[in-house]
Amino acid sequence: MEKVKRKTLYFTAPRQVELREETLPALDADDVLVETICSAISAGTEMLIYQGRFPRDVETDSVILSLRGDFKYPLAYGYACVGVVRETGKQVDRSWRDKVVFSFQPHTSHFITTLDCLFPVPDSFSHETACFLPTMETAVNLVQDGAPILGEHVLVLGQGVVGLLTTSLLNEFPLETLVTADPYALRRKASQEIGITNSFDPNSVNMLTNQDNTIDGAKRNQPAYTQKKFDLTFELSSNPSALDDALALTCFSGRIVIGSWYGEKKAEVNLGGAFHRSRIKLISSQVSTIAPELSARWDKARRFEVAWKALERIKPEKWITHRFPIEKAEKAYQLLDENPQEAIQILVTYS
């Protein structure tokens, strides 16, 4: 095999990205070479890296081999690549050649990996749909950790891609109420198109009501969703101050699933008031592991199978708002940084 040169995106400093050309080594016997077709940008995690707001004492990923290491510049990052197997090592079945696959890899035009790091993309899936596999797995994990119950009132704070996917899954449950919130009109519109009647701007509507249905000490005509607190709240906004809203909006003995990663962003959370007697359960939810209470019956393979089926039902490619060739990827991060209200899912392309 001739030596292959690839283009890889690196975060080099706060708000600086750089495209580097690298020469790949020869394949080992168990390796495959994949040429990337498209990759998805994570507007949450990757913006923390782009803005320099990531913690320096946390490993980039404790499970995914291609992402192991420290959070420090320069850093190649990303975890949603779809591509085609172009070459195979001597001990790899040649039938893998030309297969479309998914892999957890940084934004790069080519990568070398092993079969255990590849997920064959079903023939019925578009390349772009397959890029949503990590975020759908995250949504499945969030719903499993929340464990919604028949007839519950449920709130989802944040309607980015993870929020929309989580909402889509919750919408399949027989809930009494499902409400969403996001400050950006584009995302609220996407939520409403799922079938969510009540999707509102948390900055323009005072959601915080007390038990006698007053706001700021006065009786008000309120939307139905403010008249009862929620049994289950998902905090997926990436905004630490939203956790205070979640505490205020969750009922006695309710659950709050915290899926946001705040990085170094901090906000005061009021734990000195009603929370002290509320018996509210705060659940830290992150997709790298399976909840201990499920691990005897569930593993990553089973969860991925559920995620693939959910992608087929939900068809999230409708939320792709922008596509940037890797040569212009810097503009994608500038857009998310300066005008996040204009974007939902951004893809990087390689053709």
What's 119's domain CATH number? 3.90.180.10
pLDDT digit string (tens) for 198-243? 999 998 755 554 433 333 333 444 444 444 699 999 999 988 888 9
Q: Are residues 113 and 142 in the same domain?
A: no
* pLDDT at 13 > cutoff 60: yes
End position of a domain, from candidates 284, 302, 331: 284
Judge whether 310 lies within some domain.
no
296 within some domain: no
The pLDDT, as a whole number, for residue 250 is 94
Which tops the pLDDT comparison, 247 or 209? 247
In terms of domains, do 47 and 94 share one?
yes
Do 104 and 166 fall into the same domain?
no
Q: Give the predicted TM-score (pTM) of the model.
A: 0.90
Secondary structure of residue 13 in the 3-state scheme: strand
Percent of the chain with pLDDT over 70: 89
pLDDT at site 108:
98
- Assess whether 245 and 123 both reside in one domain: no
Give per-residue pLDDT as tens, 333-342.
Answer: 999 999 999 9
Residue 277 belongs to a domain: yes
Q: Most distant CA pair in the chain: distance in Å?
A: 75
- For residue 301, tell me if it sits in a domain: no
- Is residue 289 included in any domain, yes or no? no
* Closest listed residue to residue 134, CA positions, set 58, 59, 43, 263: 43
Is the same domain home to 148 and 264?
Answer: yes
CATH of the domain at 261: 3.40.50.720
Q: Which of 261, 284, 307 is the last residue of a domain?
A: 284
Distance CA 101, CA 123 (A): 10
pLDDT at 275: 83
Cα–Cα distance, 27 to 297 (Å, whole number): 37
Task: Mark whether 157 and 126 lie in a shared domain.
Answer: no
Q: Give the start-end residues of each E strand in the chain.
A: 5-13, 16-23, 31-40, 81-88, 100-103, 110-114, 119-120, 153-157, 177-181, 198-200, 214-215, 218-219, 230-235, 250-258, 281-284, 320-325, 345-349
Q: Is 54 inside a domain boundary?
A: yes
Instruction: Based on the fold, state whether residues 151 and 124 are members of the same structural domain.
Output: no
Answer yes or no: are the C-beta atoms of 268 and 242 closer than 8 Å. Answer: no
Residues 57 and 121 in one domain: yes
What is the average pLDDT score of the chain?
A: 90
What pLDDT was estimated at residue 191? 98
Which tens digit of pLDDT belongs to each residue from 48-106?
A: 999 998 876 565 554 555 555 678 899 999 999 999 999 999 999 999 999 999 999 99
Q: What is the pLDDT of residue 223?
A: 47
- Confidence band, pLDDT 50/70/90 cuts, at residue 273: confident
Residue at 294 is within a domain: no
Q: State which of 284, 304, 333 marks the end of a domain.
A: 284
Q: Is residue 306 part of a domain?
A: no
Which range marks the domain in which residue 274 is found? 135-284
- The 8-class DSSP code of residue 38 comes to E
- 124 with 236, same domain? no
Whether residues 31 and 11 fall in one domain = yes
CA 146 – CA 139 distance, rounded (Å): 11
Q: Which residue type does 347 have?
A: L
Domains held by the chain: number: 2
| Shared-domain flag, residues 205 and 72 | no
Same domain as 191, residue 63 = no
3-state SS, one letter per residue, for 137-153: HHHHHHHHHHCCCCCCE
Per-residue confidence band for 328, with pLDDT thresholds at 50, 70 and 90:
very high
